[in-house]
């Protein structure tokens, strides 16, 4: 190989290696996303019997970022918070949630991936019958994109209090 060609191959190799190293080390920008599946697949042994299944993403890509959550409730007028435990499933970025809160009272689940400050939170309303009544992922519009909106403890309290008041008036 000529010296000129060897230098060119060396430079191209160095640029390619540098680009690869920079892209591998570069932080991943953009928000995570979360979705809730119900009813869970009864044919998957790892999600069979679960109350719901949580899927975690970064943009459109499945990521195993883990989830945290609490069951927030009002039982006989008393506010309750129960930390939730999630099981990994046979699918990457997918977590099964089994029922861990009492049947009595008004309940909502607060499920997060990516952390409270930079992550995304799903608010899952539980009906009086104990089923998923609705799922909300609070967002804000920015540059044409729906981005996760931070959910505060006050937001959770207000949503739960409104649901408990509606449940109380429906029983009267």
In three-state secondary structure terms, 10 is helix
Residue-wise pLDDT tens digits, 86-137: 999 999 999 999 999 999 999 999 999 988 778 999 999 999 999 999 999 9
129-168: pLDDT as tens digits: 999 999 999 999 999 888 999 999 999 999 998 888 887 7
Q: Where are the domains of the chain?
A: 1-30, 32-171
- Other Cβ atoms less than 10 A from the Cβ of 74: the count is 20
CATH architecture of 32-171: Sandwich (2.60)
pTM: 0.80
Q: Which two tokens stand for residue 126?
A: 């539980």
Distance (Å, whole) CA 44 – CA 162: 36
Note whether 114 and 86 are within 8 A (CB): no
């Amino acid at each position: 190989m000529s010296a000129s060609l060897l230098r060119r191959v060396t430079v191209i190799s160095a640029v390619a290696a540098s680009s690869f190293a920079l892209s591998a080390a570069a932080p991943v920008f953009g928000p995570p996303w979360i979705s809730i599946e119900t009813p869970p697949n009864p044919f998957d042994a790892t999600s069979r019997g679960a109350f719901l299944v949580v899927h975690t993403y970064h943009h459109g890509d499945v990521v195993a970022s883990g989830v945290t959550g609490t069951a927030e409730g009002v039982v006989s007028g008393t506010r309750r918070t129960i930390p939730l435990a999630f099981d990994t499933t046979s699918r990457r970025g997918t977590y099964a949630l089994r029922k861990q809160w009492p049947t009595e009272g008004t309940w909502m689940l607060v499920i997060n991936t990516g952390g409270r400050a930079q992550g995304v939170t799903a608010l899952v309303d539980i009906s009086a019958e104990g089923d998923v009544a609705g799922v909300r992922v609070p967002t804000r519009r920015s540059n044409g994109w729906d981005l996760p909106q931070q959910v505060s403890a006050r937001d959770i309290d207000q949503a739960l209090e409104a649901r408990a008041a509606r449940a109380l008036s429906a029983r009267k």
